[in-house]
Copies of this chain bind each other. A is one copy, B any other.
Amino acid sequence: MTHRSTSVFLRAGLTRKILRAGWGLGLALLAGCAAPHDPNAVGGASTNAANPASPNANGVAHGVANAGAGANAAAAELRGTGDLGVAIERTTGAIQIIDTTHHQRLAVVKGLGDLSHASVVYSRDERYAYVFGRDGGLTRVDLLSARITHRIVQAGNSIGGAVSQDGRVVAAQNYEPGGIRLFDAQTLEPLADIAAIGPDGQRSKVVGLADLPGHKLAAALFDAGQIWIIDIADPRHPRITRLDAGRQPYDALVTPDGRWYLAGLFGEDGMALVDLWQTPLTVRKILSDYGRGRERLPVYKMPHLRGWAVAQDQVWLPAVGHHEVLVADKAHDWQQAGRVALLGQPIFAIARPDGRQVWVNFAFPDNGKVQVIDTAQRKVIKTLAPCRGVLHMEFTPKADQVWLSCRDDNRMEVWDTQKLERIATLPINNPSGIFFTARAQRFGM
């Protein structure tokens, strides 16, 4: 079942103007704009490196800021981008550009709007970060010059995005109005607007957006209870396959090989699974008795799903409304292979990239704790209390470090994943998500 989108198509020549587009939403395309100039700013990324991590730092100094549009980008130094990342300051509309080799903050870039639930994806060359804000803002930041190159407000409420397999398209998934919008990855020129209209004719929130092999995207429609597989080989004319998924998919992941798309269901027990190698595509329900016969606790915060949940052949999933993670065994027809009891309601369950550990953080009131699971023994081997308000965790691609964001202590912590010891602390104002550039090389990240 495919469908030609009735999108509004806009030409590149219209960029740099305020556009009033046909889907009832003002679209401000501010190509080349930059954050307000800060007279105290240190110019360029190169000189900002003189702001090393302070092991006992608390609170944040904002003397480091992006250079603004007037700065000379050539002042930034040549550097590789494979060890860079972005950390979100959720209350200031700013991001930090960080270096995982030296555990350093390189620069702060301001002017990104409401970042209270922001996420980031990367260009295929790992130079540009695409930052999705709660206010519908989509900002393209040059990590090398520490400047905003393009910024648009493309929806009323956005929760994330994806970059296509070939790197040419950046896609935004939106809550309000519900849908997916496609943009040219270099210019943020709009390419297509895919309204998330369910079988009942109503708009739906979109969750779980992931890029797939074969120039496709996958997404889940919370209100409509559907999974959509979207062919964007021609990004101005996306073709949609709609599948019924179950009640209220709240988030989803694709396995790192791009084959299996798995959506968590909030409105019922179990998860919806699509084998993307199958023709025709169908949805299959797995883990459908995971909460059966047991009362679900009040859910303070929804867990997140992403390809990081895969360790070896097993997928580690935070159980909604239960103090546990579930293990689904990909190698054995996706049967439930086990469950591990935890101290609280899990939010993120993230596998160390070698799959030997899964790290879990928690909803309030347990959000000062992190539990480390040994996946071979399937048990918690360590409970850490690193700081207050652990909102996110990000592993370096070769698994030696994990970075934690400590919202209520205004810092990030870097941990050695083998010794389970803290090795560095960096100041940052109310941090939330941390995103490393290695995500550019992976499906669904």
User: Which residues of chain A have a CB within 8 Å of any CB of chain B?
Assistant: 73-74, 76, 78-84, 101, 122-128, 143-145, 165-167, 211, 213-215, 257-259, 277, 311-313, 330-332, 353-356, 376, 397-400, 418, 437-438, 440-443
Q: Are B313 and A126 in contact (CB under 8 A)?
A: no
Q: Are B83 and A82 in contact (CB under 8 A)?
A: no
Q: Are A354 and B125 in contact (CB under 8 A)?
A: no
A277 / chain B contacts, CB cutoff of 8 Å? 356, 376
| A101-B124 contact in complex given A331-B331, A399-B213, A400-B165, C-beta closer than 8 Å | yes
Name A329's closest neighbour in chain B (CB-CB).
Answer: B331
A211 / chain B contacts, CB cutoff of 8 Å? 398
A84 / chain B contacts, CB cutoff of 8 Å? 125
Q: Are A78 and B80 in contact (CB under 8 A)?
A: no
Inter-chain CA distance A441–B81, complex, in Å, is 12
Inter-chain CA distance A126–B73, complex, in Å, is 21
Inter-chain CA distance A354–B254, complex, in Å, is 11
A123 / chain B contacts, CB cutoff of 8 Å? 80, 82
20 residue pairs of the A-B complex, CB under 8 angstroms, read A74-B74, A76-B78, A80-B123, A80-B125, A80-B126, A80-B143, A82-B437, A83-B125, A84-B125, A101-B124, A101-B125, A213-B354, A213-B399, A214-B418, A215-B418, A257-B353, A313-B330, A397-B442, A398-B443, A441-B441
Given A79-B125, A80-B123, A82-B123, 9 more A-B residue pairs with CB atoms under 8 Å apart are: A80-B81, A80-B128, A101-B124, A213-B399, A257-B311, A257-B353, A277-B356, A354-B443, A441-B441
Name A416's closest neighbour in chain B (CB-CB).
Answer: B166
Inter-chain CA distance A438–B442, complex, in Å, is 10
A441 / chain B contacts, CB cutoff of 8 Å? 82, 397-398, 438, 441
Q: Are B442 and A354 in contact (CB under 8 A)?
A: no
Q: Are A74 and B81 in contact (CB under 8 A)?
A: no
A331 / chain B contacts, CB cutoff of 8 Å? 313, 331-332
Nearest CB on B from A211, distance (A): 8
Inter-chain CA distance A266–B442, complex, in Å, is 35
Nearest CB on B from A48, distance (A): 15
Name A123's closest neighbour in chain B (CB-CB).
Answer: B80
Nearest CB on B from A254, distance (A): 10
A312 / chain B contacts, CB cutoff of 8 Å? 257, 259
| A440-B82 contact in complex given A313-B313, A354-B259, C-beta closer than 8 Å | yes
A128 / chain B contacts, CB cutoff of 8 Å? 80
Inter-chain CA distance A295–B112, complex, in Å, is 67
Inter-chain CA distance A95–B410, complex, in Å, is 46
Q: Are A82 and B398 in contact (CB under 8 A)?
A: no
Q: Are A398 and B81 in contact (CB under 8 A)?
A: no
A166 / chain B contacts, CB cutoff of 8 Å? 398, 400
Inter-chain CA distance A24–B215, complex, in Å, is 55
Nearest CB on B from A262, distance (A): 15
Name A124's closest neighbour in chain B (CB-CB).
Answer: B83
Inter-chain CA distance A78–B437, complex, in Å, is 16
| A145-B354 contact in complex given A124-B398, A125-B83, A442-B397, C-beta closer than 8 Å | no
Q: Are A145 and B215 in contact (CB under 8 A)?
A: no
Nearest CB on B from A231, distance (A): 11
Name A83's closest neighbour in chain B (CB-CB).
Answer: B125
Name A73's closest neighbour in chain B (CB-CB).
Answer: B78
Q: Which 4 A-B pairs have the closest CB atoms?
A: A80-B127, A82-B126, A80-B125, A331-B331
A355 / chain B contacts, CB cutoff of 8 Å? 257, 259
Inter-chain CA distance A312–B101, complex, in Å, is 31
Nearest CB on B from A167, distance (A): 7
Inter-chain CA distance A277–B313, complex, in Å, is 15
Q: Are A398 and B165 in contact (CB under 8 A)?
A: yes
Nearest CB on B from A390, distance (A): 24
Name A102's closest neighbour in chain B (CB-CB).
Answer: B125
Inter-chain CA distance A277–B312, complex, in Å, is 12
Q: Are A145 and B356 in contact (CB under 8 A)?
A: no
Partner of A81, one of B81, B258, B397, B400: B81
| A101-B167 contact in complex given A78-B145, A418-B215, C-beta closer than 8 Å | yes
Partner of A257, one of B73, B79, B215, B354: B354
